[in-house]
Structure 1
Amino acid sequence: MSEDILVEAIDGVLEVTINRPQARNAMTKAVAEAIAAAMDRLEREVELRCAILNGAGGTFCSGMDLKGFLTGELPVDARGGFGGLTTWTPSKPVIAAVDGFALAGGFELALACDMIVANEGARFGVPEVKRGLVAGGGACVVLPRLLPRALALELVLTGEPIDARRALELGLINRVTSGPAIEAARELARAIVRNGPLALAASKAIVRESWNWPVEEVNAHQNPYLAHVFTSEDAKEGARAFAEKREPQWQGR
């Protein structure tokens, strides 16, 4: 794995850190592939329940490494797209912990995560138009699904950034903290990993995929995600733990 990324498992949470502070964590192909590999590990290892993606040195990600772009390199993974995560997501939750800049592809990478926690000094934006480019890593598609069209267009057509408070007002991020974003992300992750792993995966899948389900077909699409959860050992354990007033011991089956 590239030295430009750090990966550590802590109490069921896989912490993935982009480690190119000298380049404001600009994305390279090697880093994109390393993030994709970390997400594969999250998916594969049963004891891992959640991931946090963050950047070293006070910046989340400033987007594509333009020096690499000029030599013909694209910072994408064959399956995961830009940053290894924008065109594929693991079944388990991923939290973006944003300090400093999340710009261009860096903003799109954060949007590809399931939740975003940011330091109050964070800045979000898609300035591609200022460079004669298009935000092709998902922003032009995702932002209109999250915001009124006029606001989405303002972000992608002016290229001007917004601060963390404005992002929170718009519903783009979950929490703003005065301290390091990683600490608030860890708090959120701890609340997540206490819950049943099968239920977490099914709930994430339904939330992410149901936006385009016709109303009359919701149950038909949702039921395949639910069936194995309600008949699982974890469902029985959750009920027993509630009745016995104790913390459940999840098995992931």
Structure 2
Amino acid sequence: MSIPTAQRVVQSERHDGVLVITLNRPQVRNAINRALAEAVDAALLLLEDDPELEVGVLTGAGGHFCSGMDLKAFPSEGVPRVADRGLAGLTRAHRTKPLIAAVEGAAVAGGFELVLACDLVTAADTAFFALPEPARGLVASEGGAIRLPARIPHHLAMEMLLTGSPLPAADAARHGLVNQTTGEGDALDAALALAGRIRANSPRAVRLTRQVVAATRGLDDDAAFAVQDPLTAPVFGTSTAAEGASAFCEKRTPDWNL
């Protein structure tokens, strides 16, 4: 028997090659319990495994992105990691396809760590981000303390990590943490538009570019090129590359299915 959509803790919908994954526990600002974590993980695995899906969008229902780990469930369920893929199957996962966070309202604690695990971010101008774990006797151990200092100025990251101070979406965008801010309620539409721009490109080239970025992070130039070149060299002799060049010269849209 199928579960009515309104009762699902995660909703997954297809939009022309884009999988929209919606956290659906609005009564608790989409806090992550075990059931939600496993449902997000299943959706992300679907995104990875289905060749018709090229981009994912992660968002939240009810005007908020995610308030983090469900602290009421924590004593009995522990941290809702899934296998070796981290919180909600995302924060430590090795993905190949782009994932965009569409943020409304609060993205705090583990919810912010989900955002930091995504590739791009759209956010309503009323959204905000925070890592208040120390106030709960916890540590932002699912990527917050690792990723945030690499994304924004060091001292601002330390202020957020040590005090729990929130960062409004406008400030997050000013520091490069958010790709695009929108009016309230429009973050998902902006994310879908961004996904459409990604989908206009070669899916293979997009995945390979993500792989290069992930594989060379933190390396010096010589080491980075040594890692990159074996990954990228084969693509220059493919029919995909030939189609891209031909389409450019002929002033037409490439057909990436050739």
- TM-score category by the smaller chain? over 0.9
Give the superposed CA RMSD. 1.5
Matches within 5 A, 1:210-221: 210-221=216-227
Query: For 2:246, what is the secondary structure of its paired residue?
Result: helix
Offset at residue 192 of structure 1 (A) = 0.4
Q: Which residue of 1 aligns with 2:32?
A: 27
Larger deviation, residues 193-202 vs 224-233:
224-233
Of the three residues 8, 14, 17, the one matched with 1:9 is 14
Question: Matched residues, percent identical?
Answer: 46
Query: For 1:192, what is the secondary structure of its paired residue?
Result: helix
Of the three residues 233, 241, 244, the one matched with 1:235 is 241
Alpha-carbon contact 2:153-2:175 (below 8 Å) kept: no
Alpha-carbon contact 2:10-2:24 (below 8 Å) kept: yes
Offset at residue 156 of structure 1 (A) = 0.3
> Are 1:223 and 2:236 counterparts?
no
Query: For 2:122, what is the secondary structure of its paired residue?
Result: strand
Offset at residue 73 of structure 1 (A) = 3.2
Q: Which residue of 2 aligns with 1:80?
A: 85
Q: Which residue of 1 aligns with 2:154?
A: 149
Alpha-carbon contact 1:76-1:82 (below 8 Å) kept: yes
Offset at residue 207 of structure 1 (A) = 1.9
Runs of 4+ in 1 over 4 A off after TM superposition: none
Q: Which residue of 1 aligns with 2:210?
A: 204
Residue 47 of structure 1 aligns to which amino acid in structure 2?
A: E
5+ residue gaps, structure 2: none
Return the TM-score normalized by structure 2: 0.93
> Are 1:169 and 2:174 counterparts?
yes
CA distance in structure 1 between the aligned counterparts of 2:239 and 2:15, rounded to whole angstroms = 25
Q: Which residue of 2 aligns with 1:133?
A: 138
Query: For 2:62, what is the secondary structure of its paired residue?
Result: helix
Query: For 1:208, what is the secondary structure of its paired residue?
Result: helix
> Are 1:122 and 2:122 counterparts?
no
Of the three residues 83, 88, 92, the one matched with 2:97 is 92
Alpha-carbon contact 1:42-1:90 (below 8 Å) kept: no
Offset at residue 129 of structure 1 (A) = 1.0
Name the count of aligned residue pairs: 252
Alpha-carbon contact 2:33-2:77 (below 8 Å) kept: no
Larger deviation, residues 124-133 vs 144-153:
144-153
Offset at residue 232 of structure 1 (A) = 2.0
Q: Which residue of 1 aligns with 2:42?
A: 37
Offset at residue 236 of structure 1 (A) = 1.3
Query: For 1:76, what is the secondary structure of its paired residue?
Result: coil
Query: For 1:52, what is the secondary structure of its paired residue?
Result: strand
5+ residue gaps, structure 1: none
Offset at residue 229 of structure 1 (A) = 2.0
Return the TM-score normalized by structure 1: 0.95
Offset at residue 89 of structure 1 (A) = 3.6
Q: Which residue of 2 aligns with 1:190?
A: 196
Residue 66 of structure 2 aligns to which amino acid in structure 1?
A: C
> Are 1:65 and 2:65 counterparts?
no
Residue 173 of structure 1 aligns to which amino acid in structure 2?
A: V
Residue 228 of structure 1 aligns to which amino acid in structure 2?
A: P
Larger deviation, residues 91-100 vs 34-43:
34-43
